């Protein structure tokens, strides 16, 4: 039995396509709403159907027992009605942790060094390369795991929490358990786009303007959405010109706002676009009054605020950034410059907020992607797994 999947924005049009493809006696197996891969895209409807017991002529007299290839946009599912992606597809998907399929570029953007080793090597040791005789107790395994996570700049309490949860898992290898725990922990706070006005805030040099350009380029050039840009950064020399160059290259309008009134007017002028992106000026530690005023202005236009943080930020500084921008009540965090960070653990240290996007280079829009917990978890675990057996009491743990 061949099942076909049909996707579209309008259920009536989908059912008409089902009728054209499978005949008027087609049987609808299931209908569901599919979330779009791009956060700002609309979800689509998916219908799974099968030809009826007596298909009869189709398309003006088609007959014969051999199945006809479905039209463009229609996917055939063979066998029992479930078909996951092929192995090659899964491998390619894994290679795109944060945007590309090239192994060398993936290593570059994530700051990984050397070979990751074979699958058999990854599974050969009980706890990330620690000899079995050194990990006879669960407590030993937890201590090793906590230390490895802390070496990756995971904050102490978070490292202990993850190690404890991984120790409670019973299915799979140690590597698989930790991957699952990290992904589940991050997945509990998943960001869902529900505002058409989005503002980026954060310290000077975090990469806000470049990230704005990457989001705009992805939305406009890849997903064919109407995008408008607004900049409030009139303090930094060349800031407006930098964003204007990006706007011209992407082909989207840019408005400059110096006051709340100008911001309201700019948002009104962009009322016909799908997505409005607002760039803000970086703030120094003493700019508490300015942060409070920025919060009032952004709230007036209904903006969803994302806090932009470099991935190399250490825990003490991360806590200070979070405290400084608390008046903005950010809905999510954007981590930038993963390619410049020697570790990936910082992303686990932001408490109470989901991660929306990550960036890993200067290219617009290639070095950017929506955050995916499962793929991040794989790369974090891969980066902390020792290249040779680690000693519980040793000083050096070499990363792959």
- Give the DSSP H or E segment for 358: strand 355-359
* Residue 188 CA from chain centroid, whole number: 14
Least Cα distance to 354 among 220, 185, 227, 236 occurs for 185
Q: Which two tokens stand for residue 67?
A: 């199945």
pLDDT at residue number 130: 47
- CB atoms < 10 A from the CB of 177, how many? 19
Lowest mean pLDDT among 189-193, 284-288, 354-358: 284-288
Residue 3 DSSP code: E
228: pLDDT strictly greater than 90: yes
pLDDT at residue number 341: 87
Burial profile 371-384: b = 16 or more Cβ within 10 angstroms, e = fewer: bbbbbbbbbbbbbb
3-state secondary structure of 170: coil
Provide the greatest CA pair distance for the chain: 77
pLDDT at residue number 112: 36
pLDDT tens column, 231-264? 998 777 788 899 999 999 999 999 999 999 999 9
Q: Over pLDDT 90: what percentage of the chain?
A: 30
Domain ranges of the chain: 3-77, 197-370
Cα(115)–Cα(152) distance, integer angstroms: 18
State the Rg of the chain over Cα.
25
CA distances from 288 to 235, 297, 327 (A): 16, 14, 9
Cα(321)–Cα(369) distance, integer angstroms: 23
Is the omega angle on the peptide bond into residue 365 within 30 degrees of 0, that is, cis?
yes
3-state secondary structure of 332: strand
400: pLDDT strictly greater than 50: no
pLDDT mean over 29-56: 67
CB 166 within 8 A of CB 144: no
**Architecture in CATH for domain 197-370:** 3-Layer(aba) Sandwich (3.40)
139: pLDDT confidence band, cut at 50, 70 and 90?
confident
pLDDT at residue number 381: 87
pLDDT at residue number 386: 56
Residues 6 or more apart whose Cβ sits within 8 Å of residue 106:
95, 97, 98, 100, 112
pLDDT tens column, 302-346? 999 999 999 999 888 999 999 999 999 999 999 999 988 888 888
Residue that wins the pLDDT comparison between 100 and 281: 281
Burial class (CB in 10 A: 0-12, 13-18, 19+), 68: middle
Sign for the pseudo-dihedral over CA of 35, 38, 40, 42 = negative
| HEC per residue, 212-248 | HHHHHHHHHHHCCCCEEEEECCCCCCCHHHHHHHHHH
φ, ψ at 279 (rounded to 5°): -95, 135
CB 177 within 8 A of CB 122: no
Q: What is the dihedral of CA 221, 223, 225, 230, to 10 degrees?
A: -60
* Residue 118 CA from chain centroid, whole number: 26
pLDDT tens column, 60-95? 444 444 445 555 555 543 333 222 233 233 333 333
- CB atoms < 10 A from the CB of 275, how many? 23
Residues 6 or more apart whose Cβ sits within 8 Å of residue 272:
226
């Amino acid at each position: 039995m061949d099942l076909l999947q049909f996707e579209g924005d309008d259920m009536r049009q989908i059912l008409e396509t089902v009728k054209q493809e499978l005949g008027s006696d087609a049987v609808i197996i299931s209908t569901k709403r599919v979330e779009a891969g791009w956060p700002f895209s609309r979800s689509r409807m998916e219908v799974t159907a099968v030809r009826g017991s007596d298909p009869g002529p189709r398309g003006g007299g088609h007959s014969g027992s051999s199945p006809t290839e479905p039209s463009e946009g229609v996917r055939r599912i063979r066998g029992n009605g479930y078909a996951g992606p092929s192995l090659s597809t899964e491998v390619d998907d894994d290679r795109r942790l944060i945007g590309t399929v090239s192994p060398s570029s993936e290593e570059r953007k994530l700051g990984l060094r050397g070979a990751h080793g074979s699958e058999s090597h990854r599974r050969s040791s009980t706890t990330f390369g620690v000899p079995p005789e050194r990990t006879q107790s669960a407590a030993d395994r937890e201590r090793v795991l906590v230390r490895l996570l802390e070496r990756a700049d995971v904050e102490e309490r978070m490292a202990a929490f993850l190690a404890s949860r991984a120790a409670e898992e019973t299915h799979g290898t140690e590597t698989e358990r930790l991957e699952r725990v990290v992904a589940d922990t991050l997945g509990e706070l998943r960001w869902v786009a529900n505002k058409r006005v989005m503002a980026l805030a954060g310290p000077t040099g975090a990469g806000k303007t470049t990230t704005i350009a990457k989001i705009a380029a992805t939305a406009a050039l890849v997903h064919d959405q109407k995008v408008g840009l607004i900049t409030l950064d009139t303090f930094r020399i060349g800031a407006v010109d930098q964003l204007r160059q990006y706007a011209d290259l992407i082909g989207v309008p840019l408005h400059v706002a110096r006051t709340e009134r100008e911001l309201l007017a700019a948002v009104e002028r962009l009322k016909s676009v799908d997505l409005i992106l607002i760039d803000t000026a970086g703030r120094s530690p003493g700019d508490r009054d300015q942060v409070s005023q920025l919060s009032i202005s952004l709230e007036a236009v209904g903006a969803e605020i994302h806090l932009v943080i470099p991935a190399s930020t250490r825990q003490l500084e991360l806590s200070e950034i979070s405290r400084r921008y608390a008046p903005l009540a950010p809905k999510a965090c954007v981590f930038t410059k993963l390619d410049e960070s020697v570790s990936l653990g910082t992303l686990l240290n932001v408490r109470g907020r989901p991660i929306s996007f990550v960036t890993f280079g200067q290219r617009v829009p290639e070095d950017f992607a929506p955050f995916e917990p499962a793929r991040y978890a794989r790369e974090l675990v891969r980066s902390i797994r020792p290249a040779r057996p680690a000693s519980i009491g040793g000083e050096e743990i070499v990363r792959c």
